[in-house]
A and B are shown apart, each in its own frame.
Chain A
Amino acid sequence: MGRFWSLVFLLVPVLGVACFAFAPMYKIWLPKDISQHGPVIDHLFYFILWLTGVVFVITEVALFWFMWRYDSHGRSNPVKFTHGSHTLEIVWTIVPAAVLLFIAIYQMNAWAESKMRNPAAGPDGILGTADDIPALLEVTARQFEWRLRYPVPEEIRKQALGKDSQWDSTKDPIKDLFVVNELHLPVNEEIILDLKSADVLHSFFLPNARVKQDAVPGMKIPVWFRATDTGSYDLVCAELCGWGHYKMKGRLTVESREDFNKWLEERFREQMATQDTASTAKGE
């Protein structure tokens, strides 16, 4: 029976490797990457996948082989009476330690690029100075939707409202576009957004852009990335936020700068039109 059980254990590396080999063929794999930093993350993923894959196969096959080879059935050899090997212990301490340390150092830059070197700080790299770059939009997560607030540049506001060149922008107090769940972003530009939460924890997850960041009430957390491909993608809430967590779905649309500006203008016009009707209806 030892042979049979060894083969059962051999199934683990065989089927395990098969599972990872066949999944991409059925398109059950990493979703299409549309971000500039994504390839670095995907590269790290593949690097660790290969590394752990090799260790996985070697150790599982070794276990299989020892089970096959040292089955007590039909053997009466004395066992290898040993309490261990100092040399082996040193080898299998130092080698994994070196590999793990290498992975730790190898990935630091990718992490720093994604989470620490905030481009909003501007050329001087310090937040809170004059050359800071303002955020493109503010995302406020709440149960169970994404509230997005885009500051609308004066030029676009002017066009949307049909004002002439003598227009005094300070007399139109609403300068922002408010939309829900419809995240539009310009392609090939550094996107900086401020992430907030109005109630509980949420997590802003763009699978295709390899972006994830929790939204925490009481905190404003900066998120940045650069989308390199146009199209329409999912915005997912990845942190449990209540019974409706599963339906907290947004839609990311990446488009050219012109299309983005056009969208901003159209949506701002619609917003101001409904705003006006609302004000008139209230008799203000």
Chain B
Amino acid sequence: MSSITVGSHAHDDAHAAHGHAGSFLSTYVFSKDHKVIGIQFLFSTLIWFFIGGLLALGIRWQVAWPWADMPVIGKMLFSGEGGQISPEFYTVLFTMHATVMIFFVIIPILAGAFGNFLIPLMIGAEDMAFPTLNMLSYWFMWPAFIAMTASFFVEGGAAKAGWTSYPPLSLTDLNGQTLWLIGLTFVGVSSMMGSVNYLTTIIQMRAPGMTMFRLPMTIWAMFITAILQAFALPVLTAAGFMQLMDRTLGTGFFIPDGWAANNAPLASGGGQPLLWQHLFWFYSHPAVYIMILPAMGMVSDIIACFSRKPLFGYKPMVYSIAGIAGLGFIVWGHHMFMSGMNPALGMTFMVSTMMIALPSAIKTFNWLGTVWGGNIRFTTPMLFALSFVSMFIIGGLSGIFMAATPVDIFIHDTYFIVAHFHYVLFAGTAMGVFGAIYFWFPKMFGRMMNDSWGKVHFLLTFLLLNGTFFTMHILGVVGFPRRLADPYHYQTFHHLQPLNAFMTICAIGMVGAQFIFVANFIFSIFMGPRAGRNPWHCNGLEWQAPSPPGHGNFDVQPVVYRGPYEYGSPEVTTDYYPQTQPPAEGGDKPPTPPAH
């Protein structure tokens, strides 16, 4: 806390209660400082990212070489099966891979880690509106972490009904599924506390001069994501409780009449399995945008900064995000085209789904427009951000195949879908997140990450991810179904094994390449060269704070004079123009209006 200087005195008084004496527990563990909470989220989610990656390798191993003994690890994990993956464990693998990646990695790393760390810094606030709630939002993740981890060790193993947990299959599972539902509820509560906090903070605590249309895209994306969370999450939480009651209290929300599992009736029935799908996707489709919009925002900031040029079409970018969020609420049925839902309803969902491709297209064109005519600096964060654009084009275009309902008849539940969402969520969001880590690392830890090793990490990840995921499109064109422990006994698919082996080798290489990142990350925290306040010469408010910012963030109250993207402005001699820098002419000019 030595970096606290003038201007944060009032703040010190207000927050004297939480540990300026330097108690370790209140500073680093039960901290109410948004930066510490953000970094706690970052470390937790990165550890889960690693676990989720290992689960993915288990899936890939089985699909490439079904029933083959896993070298070394197999003997340790599956001694009962003689070192091979059992079909039950295979279902656990893909269920928990998706669960971990979605609920423990992508959503909390975007909203929890970057949302927490960046929102107050980028809007010029000293902290979140509700610091205690913020702390709780992190600690509510822990019961979820514990429940999901414990579920691997209960009778019957962890949840194995897929991450979508479709009943009635999910009602017949053993205790792992109950723990899964409990874990999910805690994640939901945590996200809800976060989103209330983000909304309040962004609406109420912006620095003087920081109008809504001077907010960086990252903040706009976090703001709209928080709205999505706040309105969609209650539905998932309610549905989770309904399934929990079906499992434990004998209700029958999702159980049809006369239905029996293992020759014994489970409940009186009268319910509908499709009801769960509607409720689940009413949340989980907006959740897809919760998992991409913040990355879009961060990527927009990174691309503008390293193109040394204003973001092309700031307002269309904002409206596109709002459009995606709005339409995102009325497209959930496209997950259910083959489900037995009324096909006429499917047709209306098809039209809304086609239309949601539009704002995504607008964003892509504006990113291209930003790069056009710039002065591109090929730093590691810039490479990751550009790869986000390149990969998002693939993920966006492949979505049109699925939106076309007749084509979806063939490719639904095939690897085409797996390719699509991995291009959006891994090649898109995860690459954007890597870029964001390299970009804001100096602000978080006061030191730079190694750029050369960062580029090696980028190159390997970029090439190997395409080797792993692009080929999945081709598998999907053959009709290769998801979630099959051994697909090769079908004559339609038996010639696909060599291709799958190639993909698995790429996947193993890709996970291996992440060790470069881990080493770079850990080494740089302690040994990286010291970063100044503004190592990238950026305009945003966060770069005016010390690196790392002390408690209360800013030395002096920042005042905002312009939007965040005035790079290469002819008004100044430098190629950047910080939001806080008063206009020339000795300050008698009023703050310039936003320049768009």
Contact = CB atoms under 8 A, between A and B. Distances in A.
A236 B491 CA distance: 11
Given A80-B309, A238-B481, A44 B407 contact: yes
A20 interface: yes
Interface string A199-222: 111010101101111111111010
Interface in B440-480: 459, 462-463, 466, 470-471, 473-475, 477-479
9 closest Cβ contacts across the A-B interface?
A218-B256, A80-B373, A84-B313, A115-B343, A79-B568, A207-B479, A110-B406, A52-B397, A200-B169
A45 B473 CA distance: 13
A125 to B, nearest CB: 14
B501 interface: no
A67 B406 contact: no
A27 interface: yes
Interface string B88-119: 10110000000000000000000000000000
A31 B490 contact: no
Given A52-B400, A104-B351, A201-B169, 20 more contacts: A8-B463, A28-B499, A44-B407, A63-B371, A67-B371, A72-B377, A81-B310, A83-B311, A83-B596, A107-B407, A199-B172, A203-B338, A216-B274, A218-B257, A219-B256, A239-B166, A242-B91, A243-B90, A249-B489, A249-B490
B362 to A, nearest CB: 6
Interface in A101-138: 101, 103-104, 107-108, 110-112, 114-116
A100 B372 contact: no
A70 B350 contact: no
Contact of A29 (B311, B316, B371, B477): B477
B382 to A, nearest CB: 9
20 contacts: A12-B466, A20-B474, A28-B499, A72-B377, A79-B307, A79-B374, A81-B568, A82-B373, A83-B310, A83-B565, A85-B312, A93-B358, A96-B362, A201-B168, A210-B409, A219-B340, A236-B490, A240-B166, A241-B169, A246-B485
Contacts of B343: 111-112, 115-116
A142 B172 CA distance: 14
A16 interface: yes
B358 A243 contact: no
Contacts of B334: none
Contact of A212 (B410, B477, B482): B410
Interface string B487-511: 1011110011001000000000000
B247 interface: no
A107 B407 CA distance: 9
Contact of A60 (B168, B310, B393, B474): B393
A70 B308 CA distance: 11
Given A19-B474, A103-B400, A92 B378 contact: no
B486 interface: yes
A20 B485 CA distance: 26
Nearest to A116: B343
A97 to B, nearest CB: 5
B499 A66 contact: no
A40 B406 contact: yes
A217 B375 contact: no
Nearest to B339: A214
A191 interface: no
A60 B423 CA distance: 15
B405 A107 contact: yes
Interface residues of A, number: 97
A23 to B, nearest CB: 5
B400 A48 contact: yes
A281 interface: no
Interface in A30-80: 30-31, 40-41, 44-45, 48-49, 51-52, 55-56, 59-60, 62-63, 66-67, 70-72, 75, 77-80
A2 interface: yes
A267 interface: no
A18 to B, nearest CB: 10
A142 to B, nearest CB: 11
Interface hub of B347, B407, B473 (most chain A Cβ within 10 A): B407
B162 interface: yes
Interface string B377-391: 110000100110110
Interface of B: 86-88, 90-91, 160-162, 166, 168-169, 172, 256-259, 261, 269, 272-274, 307-316, 338-340, 343-344, 346-347, 350-351, 354-355, 357-358, 361-362, 364-366, 368-369, 371-378, 383, 386-387, 389-390, 393-394, 397-398, 400-401, 404-407, 409-410, 412-414, 459, 462-463, 466, 470-471, 473-475, 477-479, 481-487, 489-492, 495-496, 499, 565, 567-570, 575, 595-596
B365 A218 contact: no
B406 A79 contact: no
A83 B317 CA distance: 11
A148 B456 CA distance: 56
A101 B354 CA distance: 7
A77 to B, nearest CB: 7
A145 interface: no
Nearest to B490: A234
A62 B235 CA distance: 42
A228 to B, nearest CB: 17
B259 A214 contact: no
Nearest to B475: A28
B410 A214 contact: no
Interface string A238-272: 11111111110100000000000000000000000
A70 B371 contact: yes
B364 A240 contact: no
A28 B495 contact: yes
A189 B128 CA distance: 67
A244 B169 CA distance: 12
B80 to A, nearest CB: 15
B567 A79 contact: yes
A101 B356 CA distance: 11
A79 B575 contact: yes
Contact of B393 (A59, A82, A88, A233): A59
Given A29-B477, A59-B393, A234-B491, A84 B596 contact: yes
Given A111-B405, A116-B344, A201-B166, A81 B374 contact: no
B482 to A, nearest CB: 8
Contact of B404 (A29, A107, A201): A107
A50 to B, nearest CB: 12
A70 to B, nearest CB: 5
Given A63-B371, A92-B362, A246-B87, A23 B398 contact: no
A59 B596 CA distance: 25
Contact of B338 (A51, A96, A212, A245): A212
B393 A56 contact: yes
Given A23-B477, A48-B404, A240-B91, A89 B390 contact: no
B346 A111 contact: yes
A249 B488 CA distance: 11
A168 B171 CA distance: 47
A191 B405 CA distance: 21
Given A83-B595, A93-B362, A240-B166, A100 B355 contact: yes
Given A97-B358, A108-B347, A236-B490, A63 B91 contact: no
A237 to B, nearest CB: 8
Nearest to A91: B365
B212 to A, nearest CB: 17
B401 A1 contact: no
